[in-house]
Amino acid sequence: MDGRTAILEEAKAHYKQFLSTCRDLGIANQPEQPAEGTAASQNPGHSRMQKIERFKQQRAMQQEIDEIEARLARDSADDEDMEEVEREYAVKLIELKVHQVQDDLSLLDSELDMARQMDEMRKSAVQQQDSRAPSTEWRLDSHSYAQINPQTGRAARPTFNDRGQPMQPFVLTNKRQQIKDNVFRPGWALPTMSVDEYLEQERERGNIISGGGKEPDPKPEIDDNDYEALDAEVMKQREWDDFTDNNPRGAGNRGGNRS
């Protein structure tokens, strides 16, 4: 039995023992509960009316208990009257607890049903897991169970039998050096070819275009004795300087010329 279910069963047993003790002593009138399976117990409207009625009764009982507590708080010279008030207070308090226990029992039964269903689901899950084939991960040849022979279409024969005896030849490999190289290798990816090898490979694939069109003619140099050409070059530079002064870089993006 699950821990939660055991706790709920124990709480329900204590509740029932409390109600049985009160019934035997006759110190509290317990509300009647409809038998399970009857039309009254299965009718939601009837259950709702019962809950409303019990709530009204508990609220009236709580008011009476508050009044009695106020009477006990006041000083009284008559001890016999005080004993009677204390007895009435104890009886009213037990009656209130009986009604509260009845409400708690209905909630406890619902929670017990859910806990038992969860226990059954756990048991069925464990049984299904136990019924499965045993795992082969612990075997040295566990990888062979997942291999399929392409010729027959069936799983490959295991390397070892259940008693650990070899059923076919096998080779033991030492991966210590491979693991060591992987541990002490650089943290970045090392190149696998040189730049020249890469360019040669790309050229073979046709990704590099060689040749091309005619190169543009170089700009002719101005002769120092050609004053007209020199003056034209100077005027061209001045006009460019004036343009850059009147139109600073980025002026067109600021909207400064908008009216």
* Dihedral of the alpha carbons of 17, 21, 26, 28, in degrees to the nearest 10: -50
| CB contact burial 2-14 (16+ within 10 A = b; e otherwise) | eeebeebeeebee
Q: Where are the alpha helices (DSSP H) in the chain?
A: 3-25, 39-42, 44-73, 79-131, 176-183, 195-205, 227-246
CA dist list (Å): 144 to 4, 78, 106, 153: 44, 95, 58, 14
Please tell me the distance from the alpha carbon of residue 175 to that of residue 182, in angstroms, as a whole number.
Answer: 11
Q: How far apart are CA 16 and CA 10, in angstroms?
A: 10
**In contact, 168 and 159? CB cutoff 8 Å:** yes
Q: Print pLDDT tens along the chain (259 aa).
A: 568 888 888 989 998 898 888 888 887 666 555 555 554 455 667 777 877 888 888 888 888 888 888 878 775 555 557 778 888 888 888 888 888 888 888 888 888 888 888 888 888 887 776 666 555 555 554 554 445 555 555 556 667 777 777 777 766 666 777 777 778 777 788 888 899 999 999 988 888 877 666 777 777 777 778 788 888 888 999 999 999 888 888 777 665 555 4
pTM above 0.75, yes or no: no
pLDDT of res. 238: 92
Residue 196 has what pLDDT? 92
Query: Running DSSP on this structure, what letter comes out for residue 170?
Result: -
